[in-house]
């Protein structure tokens, strides 16, 4: 069921290209608290990853559940009006993400995707990020 009002939807639409979203800022705070240095949105890399740990050759993407079609309640929702438009658009986003992640991995980058809905559990996110950054090859 599409429960978004037009206003909410336009707010959400405006977020898609928008960097520096709240979930992104939360992940940055966590990475900083763990004592890791990172660059933001490196345009040289496919998809301009949200956080880039250059010397570790690791990147983190913070993905909005709706826009990147996470398999969660927020991600499974397709707006009721202009269904074909949304389906094409959202499927395009997913295909694009897959291409970007494959390209990065081929180039030797390790990639972590953190979903918007997972960030609510900040302790768990911190543990996950720590494992990713400090694990093997860290
Ligand atoms: Zn989600």
Centre of ligand 1 to C-alpha 70, Å, is 5
Torsion of Cα atoms, 66 then 67 then 72 then 76, to 10°: 70
Q: Give the residues of the chain that fall short of pLDDT 70.
A: 1-18, 136-138
Q: What pLDDT does residue 12 have?
A: 56
Q: What pLDDT does residue 107 have?
A: 97
- The Cα 123–Cα 53 span in angstroms is 21
Q: What pLDDT does residue 1 have?
A: 47
Residues with Cβ within 5 Å of ion ligand 1?
65, 70, 72, 75, 115, 117
Hey, what are 12's tokens?
């959400």
């Amino acid at each position: 069921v599409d429960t978004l009002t037009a206003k909410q939807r336009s707010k959400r639409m405006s977020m898609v290209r928008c960097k520096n979203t709240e979930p992104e800022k939360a992940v940055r705070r966590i990475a900083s608290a763990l004592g890791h240095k990172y660059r933001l949105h490196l345009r040289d890399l496919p998809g301009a990853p949200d956080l880039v740990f250059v010397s570790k050759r690791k990147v983190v993407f913070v993905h909005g559940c709706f826009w990147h079609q996470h398999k969660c309640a927020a991600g499974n929702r397709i707006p009721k009006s202009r269904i074909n438009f949304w389906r094409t658009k959202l499927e395009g986003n997913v295909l694009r993400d897959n291409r970007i992640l494959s390209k990065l991995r081929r180039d030797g980058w390790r990639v972590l995707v953190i979903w918007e809905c997972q960030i609510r559990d900040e302790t768990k996110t911190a543990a996950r990020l720590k494992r990713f950054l400090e694990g093997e090859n860290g």
